[in-house]
Structure 1
């Protein structure tokens, strides 16, 4: 009997010791996981607690330097960061750097757990600890992988849209990005492509002349149905010595037909590759019409415009009156709201109960709204989606090397620069018989009144297919068409004044 009682007491003592030991192991695992989580948030905590002061201090110091460097860079060098964000080489370096940082971070998490993990854990406890640490590593790896992937997508779009070198493939002088000129002139084109239409019609054509010191901008808008203009000297002028006729049957051609005609007739622009013929001939043609230098072009396919607007989160517009879109028999109601991409496209394209010239004015207001609202921070935070949209929708001949200069210039345009607009529409001109002398005179006056006066006499591009300034026989101005804009406007008007806000 006594031996049985002694054996029972011994068994109870063993059970108590097992329970106490299991509880201690559980508390040790919780402590280890807590220190591992703390080290994932602040490097070195686990090492310092485990008595490894040298390594812990190094990790803590490195983490502190990373935080301080990031904060100082974001606060002080933000403009430089934005300029670096449009340079493919720096984007590659950033992607590699963020992946390396992620690898170091995961290593710190794993090693922290290893040095504070208690001995004698059961199989279940070991599994629970390993799973928890794996989840912590996953939490670190996901944002790092996303950042590296997004950077790759952005870089791919950047290199797809912007090529290196100038139009002839020659290196660009980044020390003097504007070639000594006080203004840079960019032709903004809206391509009205569609599944049921062959080729591209440039239904929106605006030359943006930007003062490189102040950012002051004047927009010179040409109507899509302008006629009786000359093509630049060379093969194009030789084929149409009396003005562009398009179909060759003697009927005057329209300005929005030049782009596609050049793509279909490579002999007009010899030496220029496919998909570049249209822009080159149109740049030279518009340079001659306005007698203004055309440095670069940007073409936005209207089918992709909606995607770009959606990518930046929409565009806020004030609509003074209802706009009917006959294709869908819907109405865009008057008022101030954030338009989706589809609504913004609808706002800029509809001419039901209005005309081409009213539509041109609305398109300028969209440009103004996007320029004001799509700040670099918004673009960069949504660059993954925006990169995919712009890759589909935009083509340009702006060199990669000039992107930092253009980013700096765009910040000037955003920060209070004056944006004026002059549209060459009836009754200021007759689209069928334009007074090109008047157009050139008013263009020169508009540019000279916007910021710093341009240096040198404006000329067309100097390539064989775009050299010189086309001449044209001046016609009569006036002759307003039905539904045209209210009275001739011969001076540029501020978009801040003309666009509802």
Structure 2
């Protein structure tokens, strides 16, 4: 027995110890395989949620040059190079949730919010320029999914471009107005924005005046408030309860929200918290439409990683300089030369 124990047998302690590393390695391999499979499923699920639109193909070469001067006009933007992104908030009527949040009835939609986000080379700063949706523009002829193209329209409201030809026409109209190449396109609808704010745990904003807007269903006293998703959406849509009731007052509130969201993301360390990041991504991707250069989780997170070192205080929010439209005082037009100089600085 002593000699048998000395050499060890598979039923004794020595034998069990000799098998443990193999068992541990096998278990670890199974866990890693399952983990990789789960990660792949999450990636597939979230990427599959995103709607991609091939804007570059639809618009062809008749566009402003890219902001990245070190790359040829037809090349993709360089990593870390300057980027311009058209961000739209859509008042889509699709789905019960959007209608419940104020999207209304019917299948049409307009761009309720429009911002050009300029990311400086090296991601040292960012500029967010709001385009009032009531801005009168020349809406160019736009290619349509059904074939052919829409007619050019003079004196159209900027936000009508989305209704006329979807993301492609929204991008073409923005480029026509600004002379700035939109390297990417991002659109989120009412329900997606509300879910984003809720997934972040709400946002804290400070308003300088009381807000009482029946149309956006928001009632707030002047001061600091922590808003949930539905309240934040109400703030983004508030127009008649602030200032002179024009779209400019709403634009200012939207800029306050942008900074509040950036501060919240920075405070909770979103990019270093995988569980929270998944929750946010899952909340947003189902309501997200992008160009085909950003229509996967890998491409979106790749862009997000380049922004890790960009603090909220390095983000400047502006509104395109405008003046009342001569033919309609309830609408505005770009004010030159100020508007032209602003757009020139982002090219």
**TM-score, normalized by length of structure 1?**
0.51
Could you tell me which residue of structure 1 aligns to residue 138 of structure 2? 229
The alpha carbon displacement at 1:416 in A equals: 5.8
Q: Is the 8 A contact 1:325 1:352 kept in 2?
A: yes
- CA deviations on 1:165-185 (whole Å, 9 max, x unpaired) are 88449xxxxx99624893111
Compare the two structures and name the one with the higher helix fraction.
1
- Aligned residues of 2:218 and 2:231 also touching (Cα < 8 A): no
Q: Displacement of 1:343 after TM fit?
A: 1.1
Task: Say whether 1:281 aligns with 2:169.
Answer: yes
Change (3 A) 1:433 1:390: closer
Q: 2:121 aligns with which of 195, 198, 212?
A: 212
Partner of 1:391: 285
Shift, 1:423, TM fit: 0.5
Which position in structure 1 is the counterpart of 2:181?
293
| Correspondence list, 1:47-196, <5 A | 52-57=16-21, 100-101=30-31, 152-161=41-50, 167-168=56-57, 178-179=77-78, 182-193=81-92, 194-196=103-105
Instruction: Tell me: CA distance 1:61–1:237, structure 2 relative to 1, closer, same or farther (3 Å).
Output: closer
Matched ranges for 1:225-374 at <5 A? 225-231=134-140, 239-240=151-152, 244-245=153-154, 252-262=155-165, 278-327=166-215, 331-354=219-242, 355=245, 356-374=247-265
Choose from 82, 85, 110 the match for 1:201.
110
In 2, the alpha carbon distance for the partners of 1:156 and 1:212 equals 32
Of 329, 337, 343, 1:443 maps to: 343
Cα distance change on mapping 1:429 and 1:178 into 2, 3 Å: farther
- Aligned-residue offset at 1:318: 2.7
The answer as to 2:317 corresponding to 1:421 is: yes
1:381 equivalent in structure 2: 275
Q: Is the 8 A contact 2:218 2:238 kept in 1?
A: no
Cα offset, 1:327, TM superposition = 3.8
C-alpha distance 148-344 of structure 1, shift in aligned 2 (>3 A)? farther
Aligned to 1:495: none
Paired with 1:411 and 1:257, the residues of 2 have a C-alpha distance of 35
The CA deviation string for residues 325-374 of structure 1, in whole angstroms up to 9 with x for no partner, is 31476522444343210111112111233232111111122222222322
Structure holding more strand per residue: 2
Report the alpha carbon displacement of residue 188 of structure 1 after superposing the two structures with TM.
0.6
Counterpart Cα distance in 1 of 2:32 and 2:129: 49
**Residues 382, 154 of structure 1: CA spacing in aligned structure 2 closer, same or farther, 3 A cutoff?**
farther
Relative distance call for 1:317 and 1:155 in structure 2 (3 A) is: farther
CA distance in 1, matches of 2:117, 2:44: 26
Counterparts in 2 of 1:385 and 1:60: CA distance versus 1, 3 Å: closer
- For 2:43 and 2:209, the matched residues in 1 are separated by 38
**Offset at residue 190 of structure 1 (A):** 0.6
Q: Contact 2:52–2:289 at 8 Å: present in 1 too?
A: no
CA contact (8 A) 2:120 2:126 kept: yes
Map Cα deviations across residues 426-469 of structure 1 (whole Å, 9 max, x no partner).
55987444445542222223x3xxxxxxxxxx4xxxxxxxxxxx
CA distance in 2, matches of 1:149, 1:360: 41
Structure 2: gaps of 5 or more residues? 1-10, 59-70, 93-102
Name 1:74's counterpart in structure 2. Answer: none
C-alpha distance 405-429 of structure 1, shift in aligned 2 (>3 A): farther
CA distance in 2, matches of 1:179, 1:162: 24
TM-score normalised according to structure 2 size: 0.70
Q: Distance in 1 between matches of 2:192 and 2:150?
A: 36
Conservation of the 8 A alpha-carbon contact between 2:118 and 2:126: yes
SS of the residue corresponding to residue 136 of structure 2 reads coil
Q: 1: distance between equivalents of 2:344 and 2:337? A: 11
Distance 1:257 1:181 in 2: 33
